[in-house]
Structure 1
Amino acid sequence: MGRPDKAARAAIARRRSDAIDLKLAGVDWLTIAHKLAADPTINSDGIAYPQGYGIERYAKGQEPPADDTLINAACRDVRKALTDRRTELNDDVDAMRQLDADRLDRLFFVAYKKAVRDQDLLAVDRTLRIMERRARLLGLDMPTRTELAGPQGGPLQIENTTLAELDALIALTERDTP
């Protein structure tokens, strides 16, 4: 089976979007799988969902996939849709970051020119603030090393705590809080 054509890719994208919308609405996996199944005999709406789960089997007139297979397909769709959305969001963030960097470059040029030409200390301060903001935006500053230490600079003591112990500690804290 080759790459789906444009219409099939659009239908798959729609199915994935529907799957994630249903999951966000709190619908269980099996219900999602049945709602988005290609075979009208198992589709909860009684329709042949375009590019629905089990489309290959339905197209060949075979029995629909088992429930666990349908659930796995729904899970894969939601995972893939979330990954795609995360990628799109990252692309949008990168574009916004570049736009802000361009704006800061323009502001920097104006402030720098005034700082150098007029020897204006306020312009020097503004230039430095723009440089600092740009460095933070683009991650140009070296990371700061942070070290945690216990009492008198000694090692931290880490303990395992049971849920019951945590609940008791929270109750104790809530009781002592005015």
Structure 2
Amino acid sequence: MSHSKAHLAEVAARRAQLIQLRLRGVPYADDRILDLGYTSPQAASKDLIRALEAHRDDAAAEASVYRQQENERLDALLDAVWPQATEERPVYGKDGEFLGNAVDMRAVDTVLKLMDRRAKLNGLDAPVKTEVSGPGGGAVRLDHVGLAELNKLITTAGDPDPNETGDEGDDDLLYISEDEDDDRDPA
């Protein structure tokens, strides 16, 4: 069903007002939302979902256009540097003496950087896996870990030198049981 431009503008304005009210925490059943012309809180909720989906589709389309432009730029740069990176050329020393044939290694490096950029742009790289391990690279055991041990793990997390201490001022990272709360120094 085709809608007039006036109707589409009215829907866009109503959705903009709905989004503003919801951002301020106004519930769907509030009269300010129902006064926008919705027959029920459920109708307002569905319309908000439609508005967000339309925005997501618009953003995806814009990202697709940007990605295409960036790929075209990368193609042009790759075309310009590819011959230097793949074809051997004569190499001469400082005194003009012929040393042999070789590819331009700076051009090879540039090609690799362009390929890396393209892989990132198009999401071709596999996600990096991370693993949290315990002391000595072993598993982190949490079955009978006390709060002191857990706090020690938090303090040393990511610290390659077990003799170095973490930032002692980071109290917000410490786990405290309700029993220990009274024993803690409030400094």
TM-score for the superposition, normalised by structure 2: 0.58
**Which of the numbers 114, 129, 151 marks the counterpart of 1:145?**
129
Structure 1: give runs of 5+ residues left out of the alignment: 37-51, 55-68
State the 1:134 CA deviation: 0.8
Equivalent pairs counted in the alignment come to 138
Partner of 2:166: none
**Higher RCO structure (Cα 8 Å, ≥6 apart):** 1
RMSD of aligned residue pairs (Cα, Å): 3.3
Query: In structure 2, how many angstroms separate the alpha carbons of the residues matched to 1:92 and 1:174?
Result: 52
Letter of the 1:5 counterpart: H
Within-5 A mapping of 1:14-163: 14-29=13-28, 30-36=30-36, 52-54=37-39, 69=40, 71-117=41-87, 118=89, 119-152=103-136, 153-157=138-142
Partner of 2:3: 5
Letter of the 1:95 counterpart: V
1:38-90 per-position Cα deviation (integer Å, ceiling 9, x unaligned): xxxxxxxxxxxxxx223xxxxxxxxxxxxxx2x22222222221222122112
Q: Secondary structure at the match of 1:53?
A: coil
Query: In structure 2, how many angstroms separate the alpha carbons of the residues matched to 1:156 and 1:91?
Result: 46
Going from structure 1 to structure 2, the CA distance change for 1:135 and 1:20 (only over 3 Å counts) comes to: same
Given that 1:111 and 1:127 are in contact with CA atoms closer than 8 Å, whether structure 2 keeps it comes out as yes
Given that 1:114 and 1:120 are in contact with CA atoms closer than 8 Å, whether structure 2 keeps it comes out as yes
State the 1:100 CA deviation: 1.0
After superposing the two structures, state which structure 1 stretch, 125-134 or 26-35, moved more. Answer: 26-35
TM-score for the superposition, normalised by structure 1: 0.61
More helix per residue: 1
Query: In structure 2, how many angstroms separate the alpha carbons of the residues matched to 1:10 and 1:128?
Result: 48
Letter of the 1:157 counterpart: L
Rg (Cα) greater in structure? 2
Query: In structure 1, how many angstroms separate the alpha carbons of the residues matched to 2:108 and 2:141?
Result: 44
> Percent identity over the alignment?
33
Going from structure 1 to structure 2, the CA distance change for 1:132 and 1:23 (only over 3 Å counts) comes to: same
Query: In structure 1, how many angstroms separate the alpha carbons of the residues matched to 2:109 and 2:84?
Result: 11
State the 1:103 CA deviation: 0.9
State the 1:26 CA deviation: 4.5
1:149-173 per-position Cα deviation (integer Å, ceiling 9, x unaligned): 33341245278x9x9749x88xx69
Given that 2:85 and 2:104 are in contact with CA atoms closer than 8 Å, whether structure 1 keeps it comes out as yes
